[in-house]
A and B are shown apart, each in its own frame.
Chain A
Amino acid sequence: DGGITQSPKYLFRKEGQNVTLSCEQNLNHDAMYWYRQDPGQGLRLIYYSQIVNDFQKGDIAEGYSVSREKKESFPLTVTSAQKNPTAFYLCATKHRGVQETQYFGPGTRLLVL
């Protein structure tokens, strides 16, 4: 079964904790992206990676960290420095090519207790 998987589906975090959201893909796509979506708002880019062992900050990278050790995996860590982490987090991937678009995983909903 091909596609993009994100886990967990729901995640609860206590204040001061770091948590890591998983994103795995078996589409052999080169680029991977992390977005945050708040109620009534569009998606905002947190980090992206175009190649293994390389990644760049997006528009709202503060309080987040990522790694890209394997092509298939792009985990996102929400650190305690992120003061308002409650949101819906979406991972996306894209194959290299002019006409290719980004495809999204099912998302992880993070709630801070």
Chain B
Amino acid sequence: EDKVVQSPLSLVVHEGDTVTLNCSYEVTNFRSLLWYKQEKKAPTFLFMLTSSGIEKKSGRLSSILDKKELFSILNITATQTGDSAVYLCAVEDTGSARQLTFGSGTQLTVLP
């Protein structure tokens, strides 16, 4: 059974801090790892990672995948209150349906 574990479960920081969110996984047939941001409603897509060691970057957010050690990190620099959300990590398998298995998420709270 595929498994995704995220840590920490919750994190409280102040504006301007840098945070690192962790995601480890066990997947029989790995295709990709995805990060989503969820603010009360629908998760919104952040990154899709398929190759080890290649950093993906979008503004203050960046992410990298290590397929040997089976984990990924999501970094947020110079955090803002608008970054407060649940960050979800999911792994996608190679089956025709390309199912996603989600972790339980990291609740990030950024205080002013």
- Give the complex CA separation of A1 and B107 in angstroms: 31
Q: A43-B43, A48-B97 are in contact. List 9 more A-B contacts (CB 8 A).
A: A31-B97, A35-B102, A42-B4, A42-B90, A42-B103, A42-B104, A43-B102, A101-B48, A102-B100
Query: Which residues from A are CB-within-8-Å of B41?
Result: 106-107
> Does B96 lie at the interface of the complex (its beta carbon under 8 Å from any beta carbon of A)?
yes
26 A–B contacts from the bound complex (CB under 8 Å): A31-B98, A40-B9, A40-B104, A41-B104, A41-B105, A42-B4, A42-B6, A42-B88, A42-B90, A42-B103, A42-B104, A42-B105, A44-B102, A48-B97, A48-B99, A50-B96, A50-B97, A90-B42, A99-B48, A102-B45, A104-B36, A104-B43, A104-B44, A106-B42, A107-B41, A107-B42
- Give the complex CA separation of A102 and B32 in angstroms: 12
> Does B108 lie at the interface of the complex (its beta carbon under 8 Å from any beta carbon of A)?
no
> Does A103 lie at the interface of the complex (its beta carbon under 8 Å from any beta carbon of B)?
yes
Q: Is the interface of B mostly helix, strand, loop or mixed?
A: strand
